[in-house]
Amino acid sequence: MNRNCLFFAVFGIIFCLTSSVMGQWVRMGSPDDSSAINSLFAIPNTSPTILFAGTSNPFTTAIFRSTDNGTSWKTVDSSLIAPFATCFVFMGTRLFAGNAYGVFLTADTGRSWSEVNTGLTDLTVGAFAASGTNLFAGTCKGVYLTTNNGVIWNATNSGISDVCVHSLIANGSNLYVGSYGSGVFLSTDDGTSWGHGVLFPAYSTDVTTLAAIGVNVFANTHDGVFLSMDSGVSWTNKSTGLPYSIDIHTSLKNYAIMNLVSFGTALIACIPSRGVYISTNNGASWAAVNAGLTDLQIISFALSDSFVYAGSDRGGIWRRPFQEMIGTTAVEDQPKNESNIESFPNPFSQSTSIKFTSSDCAFTQVSIHNLLGSEVARLFTGSLDGGEHSFIWDAHGIPPGMYICTIRANGRTQELPVMLMK
């Protein structure tokens, strides 16, 4: 039996033995059974996966670290303790953590930390966004920027100096702020100036989280998920299929989504008491993905190379294969039989051939993305005639893991998971 045949035989046996587990969420170790898991973060390309969890309750607060895929946890440097949820961002080899005491930095995956607050006049850091060498921090007094890994921060607040920032995302050359009570703001010049997009009805201007898939930007509010395809000029409600709760104070319907994240081309939302929902078609439809969850109070997510981790407000952490979770949903409004994608070999170790068939002439983009949605390779951009097409992805220098081959043509997006093994 040759090497490839042996690999696929072993892979098949492992898949059969684990399929009953792979099809649902699995409970992992818990940092603190009495504390809400307000934030989760996985450092990319670490094996085993190094995870961080920010927790808090009225009696104890801490940040925890796991170096074994979430099986066990230990408290990190006590200087990071703060009475609010913690946010994380990873740049190069550095991990930044933000909380009510400012910004903290580790260059050794969490073993030691240093405070990097010089220039921050407001230490209530609740959001980060990274763009190239620029790192932005959202506070209750607007946005700050560092270009030297936190050595010095400068306010970049023209127009939003008094805005309480809940969420920050960098999407291409655009930087978006989701605020409390003021909707969404957009900067196209690295935060030097901001334009205000008053999105929704007045009662929907509390934007708790932002997410992006390509040029599409999603805003999470108490009235559901909204989509903008024109840099925030106009917004469309994309909440059909999401359950809602009843506000105990007003008796009104309230989606009360605690978290909204984009993983590749998928949107994942968590709703108190309703669990986890996923959309693979830009919010046109949603499907519950709660198999195995014994606690539906999920409020935070993290994505490693292959898994989604979910944290509960009761202290539990669950894990589920990302690609398997995507496979539980069907994009019903996608045209059928117009094209298909295949990759061979898959899994592969050096290069793989991407083949697909298009039905007519169209402007086409063929690209490779990691599970965080970042493009790692562009294979083709241009016009293609109808028929069969083939492109080679040479993955030398790319870390091993799961990637998504994405083909966009005629306003449609098709994807194929490909596994790079070294």
| Residue 8, domain member (yes or no) | no
Count of structural domains, the chain: 2
Q: Same domain for 180 and 221?
A: yes
Within this chain, do residues 294 and 399 fall inside the same structural domain, yes or no? no
Is 332 inside a domain boundary? no
Whether 149 and 257 map to the same domain: the answer is yes
Q: Are residues 349 and 286 in the same domain?
A: no
- CATH number for the domain spanning 378: value is 2.60.40.1930
Quick one: 264 and 394 in the same domain?
no
Q: Please indicate, yes or no, whether residues 61 and 117 belong to a single structural domain of this protein.
A: yes
Residue 411 placed within a domain: yes
Q: Is residue 45 part of a domain?
A: yes
Say if residue 206 is in the same domain as residue 293: yes
Please give the Cα distance from 260 to 314 (Å, whole number): 19
User: Residue 110: what pLDDT?
Assistant: 83
Of 299, 326, 353, which one is at a domain's C-terminal end?
326
Are residues 82 and 143 both part of a single domain?
Answer: yes
Cα gap 132→134, rounded to integer Å: 5
User: Is residue 17 in a domain?
Assistant: no
CA atoms of 187 and 175, how far apart (whole Å): 5
State which residues form the domain around 318: 25-326
Q: What is the CATH number of the domain that holds 315?
A: 2.130.10.10
Query: Which DSSP category does 80 fall into?
Result: G
Q: What pLDDT, on the 0 to 100 scale, is given for residue 411?
A: 59
Domain membership flag for residue 93: yes
Residue where one domain finishes, among candidates 292, 326, 360: 326
Assess whether the previous peptide bond of 417 is cis (omega < 30° from 0): no
Q: How does pLDDT run along the chain (422 residues), one tens digit per residue?
A: 444 444 434 344 333 333 334 468 999 988 877 778 888 999 988 888 999 988 876 555 677 899 999 999 988 765 555 555 578 999 888 999 888 889 999 888 888 888 999 999 999 898 999 988 899 999 988 999 999 999 999 999 888 878 889 899 998 888 999 988 788 899 999 888 888 655 543 446 788 889 998 889 998 887 788 898 888 888 888 888 887 654 444 444 555 566 888 887 889 998 877 889 999 889 988 888 998 888 888 889 998 877 899 998 888 899 998 877 876 554 333 333 344 788 889 888 889 999 988 777 777 889 898 876 678 898 988 888 888 899 999 999 898 888 888 887 765 677 788 888 87
19 assigned to some structural domain: no
Say if residue 307 is in the same domain as residue 382.
no
pTM of the model: 0.70
Measuring CA to CA, which residue among 418, 378, 415 is closest to residue 400? 418
CB-based burial label for 363 (10 Å; 0-12, 13-18, 19+): exposed
CA dihedral sign of residues 385, 390, 395, 396: negative
> What does residue 247 show for φ and ψ, rounded to 5 degrees?
-65, 120
Last residue of a domain, one of 326, 359, 392: 326
- The verdict on 71 and 215 lying in the same domain is yes
Shared-domain flag, residues 81 and 132: yes
Determine, yes or no, domain membership for 9. Answer: no
Q: Say yes or no: 53 and 179 in one domain.
A: yes
